[in-house]
């Protein structure tokens, strides 16, 4: 990968010259390989730079000013974005290059990876721990238990009701059995009473007949004596 820095060697702006020197000096301090492309002496370089700077990165007049930085054909940014990356120790990321071992940016990247891996490890650890059903389902599990208990109570109540109904039927059957012999005894007593009445009537008739016979005998005896 080649870092391209578009500069204006004959710029009359002191600010532009200072910014260009700042970018070049920092890249040399980092020992980053780069190529300087002069837009003041080379019209082709100037046109290529203007065409490849994204529209949203161009100023209001549409003409980007140097320095502009590219990684091969990819746009990295202008001086302001380069300065922000330098302040954040993220120049290599800004340039699209891997940070060298031992650099501050490499250490920050390692710490970020450790934190990220640690978080992933914690997430995996959390996933591997089995959570009780009560904790996973919360109130829903408690409600299911309550519903199950209600159903059991309902079934128990139905069984008790059936048992009570069976007891009532048995009691009625026993009562009916007791009433039947009592009715039979009453009928027998009534029949016995009727028989007694018939006997009494027959006895009364027999006594009347005997009295009549006796009276007839007495009358006959009196008639004989009178003769």
Q: What is the rounded CA–CA span in Å between residue 68 and residue 5?
A: 6
The confidence score (pLDDT) of residue 11 equals 85
DSSP state letter for 59: -
What is this structure's pTM?
Answer: 0.50
Give the full edge-to-edge strand order of the sheet including 74-78. Answer: 34-38, 3-7, 68-71, 74-78
- Cβ neighbours around 91 below 10 Å, total: 22
The residue to which tokens 């009532």 are assigned: 168
Which residues are 37's β-sheet partners? 6
Q: Per-residue pLDDT tens for 93-122?
A: 999 999 998 888 888 878 877 776 765 544
- Taken in order 136, 140, 146, 150, the sign of the CA dihedral is negative
pLDDT > 70 fraction of the chain, expressed in percent and rounded: 56
CA-to-CA separations, 135 to 26, 69, 84, 132, in angstroms, rounded: 57, 56, 48, 5
pLDDT > 90 fraction of the chain, expressed in percent and rounded: 41
Instruction: Identify the band that residue 126 occupies on the pLDDT scale cut at 50, 70 and 90.
Output: low
């Amino acid at each position: 990968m080649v870092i391209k820095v578009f500069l204006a060697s004959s710029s009359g702006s002191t600010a532009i010259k200072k910014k260009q020197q700042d970018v070049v000096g920092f890249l040399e301090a980092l020992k980053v390989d780069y190529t300087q492309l002069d837009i003041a002496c080379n019209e082709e370089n100037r046109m290529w730079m203007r065409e490849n700077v994204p529209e949203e990165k161009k100023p209001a007049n549409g003409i980007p000013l140097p320095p502009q930085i590219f990684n091969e054909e990819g746009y990295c940014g202008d001086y302001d974005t380069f300065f922000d990356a330098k302040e954040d120790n993220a120049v290599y990321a800004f340039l699209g290059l891997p940070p060298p071992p031992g650099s501050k940016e490499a250490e920050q990247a390692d710490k970020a990876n450790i934190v990220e891996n640690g978080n992933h490890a914690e997430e995996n650890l959390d996933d591997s721990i089995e959570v009780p059903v009560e904790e996973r389902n919360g109130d829903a599990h408690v409600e299911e238990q309550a519903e199950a208990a209600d159903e059991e109570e309902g079934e128990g109540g139905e069984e008790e009701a059936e048992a009570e109904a069976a007891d009532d039927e048995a009691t009625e059957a026993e009562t009916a059995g007791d009433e039947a012999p009592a009715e039979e005894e009453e009928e027998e007593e009534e029949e016995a009473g009727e028989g007694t009445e018939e006997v009494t009537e027959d006895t009364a008739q027999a006594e009347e007949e005997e009295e009549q016979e006796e009276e007839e005998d007495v009358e006959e005896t009196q008639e004989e004596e009178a003769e």
